[in-house]
Amino acid sequence: MSVSPKLMALTGSWQGTNKLWLDPNEPARESAATAVCQTVAQGKFFSLRYTWADEGKSQEGLLLLGQNQEQLAAAWVDSWHMQNLMMHCTGTVETGKPASVVGHYAAPPDPDWGWRLTLQPDSAEQFRLIMHNITPDGEEMLAVEATFRRKDQD
């Protein structure tokens, strides 16, 4: 596994805004957000640690991402979305496209639902972490869009 140059360019500290949609027909719940991106395990993996809030309560998450020539693999935890569980996700490397992985979570008594995480570098100074909920029928609904801008260096 190794980290792509696009993700390597995101290393550093970031600040921004997190938008959470519980219902696609309702307005987003917005909060301030921070992120720290770094490589780990001798540059073989990319780590994105982030914070945000919902209804005034602080939340945090971690996305650990690795890739080889053809596949992406990720582990994701989030204090609000995942509670005390870890989601394992996979994706394929597509030239010119952002890193995107999909995992699944139980929704008893219904079939499992999917969850897509996309790490979208917009420029050297901005990136987005976008999450979609995926119904058992494959319909994707925007659930989270966190937009980060590089923090000013002191």
User: Residue 147's closest CA among 131, 120, 130, 128?
Assistant: 128
CATH of the domain at 30: 2.40.128.20
Note the pLDDT of residue 68: 87
Residue 118 has pLDDT above 80, yes or no: yes
Query: What is the number of structural domains in the chain?
Result: 1
Distance CA 50, CA 34 (A): 5
The residue segments making up the domain with residue 66 are 5-150
Mean pLDDT computed over every residue of the chain = 94
Residue range 23-51, pLDDT digits in tens: 989 999 999 999 999 999 999 999 999 99
